[in-house]
Amino acid sequence: MNALVAVASGTIPAVIMGSLFPTTPASWLFGFLIGMVWANGFEYAYHRFLLHKPGTLFARNHLVHHASVRTPTEAEDLNLGGSPLWILLLFVANGVPTIALDVLFRLKIAPGMLMGFVVYVLLVEEMHWRIHLGKPLPPGLAFARNHHFIHHDRPNSRYNIFFPVFDLVFRSLHSERYKIELSTDSHVVSLPAVNRNEKKNAT
């Protein structure tokens, strides 16, 4: 249901904007790329400053996901978007300023940006599911499983789920400090004992 809401929330306004303000294929493509980058940045900010902000409803709900990792209920708590209503609100929060700025400055890239949002949301949910359940990852993105499980061992790092553009920008990878060891099950990631002790002391 969330996927359908995401597709509708981005595609419908994109088609309307494309009809009202016709643009070129190049502008659609440029807007799409900008939308993907914007969505990556929004994912980073949403994950870091809302889902990991202590004492908030967002953090309490997200903690259920973190607590379920490597348990029998893990598959039940993988939905990053929450309810369909929340998905709609996220698209409104991103889409309204996008459309307003596009109309104000006559950029004609909003349709492509909105479609970029759609594709990124679908990708991040699919990748998150595949990462946690040990499913095959697309070529070139095999690193994403390791990347994301480091976040679960060190929740103050690696907020991008699978494509760490803004983790690189804001230097939240910590890859030089926290090395991982893969178990025989490629879905499970563990840290060296010294880092686990460090984690316990920090809490």
- CA dist 74 → 70, 125, 167 (Å): 6, 14, 25
pLDDT at 78 over 90: no
Beta bridge partners of 182: 189
Q: What pLDDT does residue 65 have?
A: 92
Over residues 152-171, mean pLDDT: 95
pLDDT at 187 over 70: no
Q: What is the percent of the chain where pLDDT is above 70?
A: 86
pLDDT at 196 over 50: no
Over residues 85-111, mean pLDDT: 96
The helix or strand, by DSSP H or E, that contains position 35, with its residue range, turns out to be helix 25-46
- Rounded Cα distance between 4 and 85, Å, is 12
For residue range 5-63, what is the model confidence (pLDDT) as tens digits?
999 999 999 999 999 999 999 999 999 999 999 999 999 999 999 999 988 888 888 99
